[in-house]
Amino acid sequence: MSANDSARGVTASTGADTTVLPESTSPEVELERLQQALLESEERARTHHEQYLRAAAELENVRKRAQRDIEAANRYGLEKFAADLLPVKDSLELAVQNAPRADVKSLREGQEATLQLLARALEKLGITVIDPVGEPFDPARHEAMMAQESATAEPNSVLQVIQPGYELNGRLLRPARVIVSRAPA
Q: pLDDT tens across 19-60, in order? A: 555 555 688 999 999 999 999 999 999 999 999 999 999 999
Stretch 73-89: mean pLDDT: 84
Residue 95: predicted pLDDT: 87
User: Domain range holding 85?
Assistant: 77-125
What's the predicted TM-score (pTM) here?
0.57
Residue 77: predicted pLDDT: 76
Cβ distance 87 to 121 under 8 Å?
yes
Provide the number of structural domains found in the chain: 3
Domain final residue, candidates 57, 76, 95: 76
Measured in degrees and rounded to the nearest 5, phi and psi for residue 72 equal -65, -40
Which of these, 136, 140, 137, 147, lies nearest to 167 by C-alpha position?
A: 140
The whole-angstrom separation of Cα 173 and Cα 74 is 19
What lies within 8 Å, CB to CB, of 18 at 6+ separation is: 11
Same domain, 57 and 92: no
Same domain, 68 and 81: no
- Asked whether residue 7 is domain-assigned, the answer is no
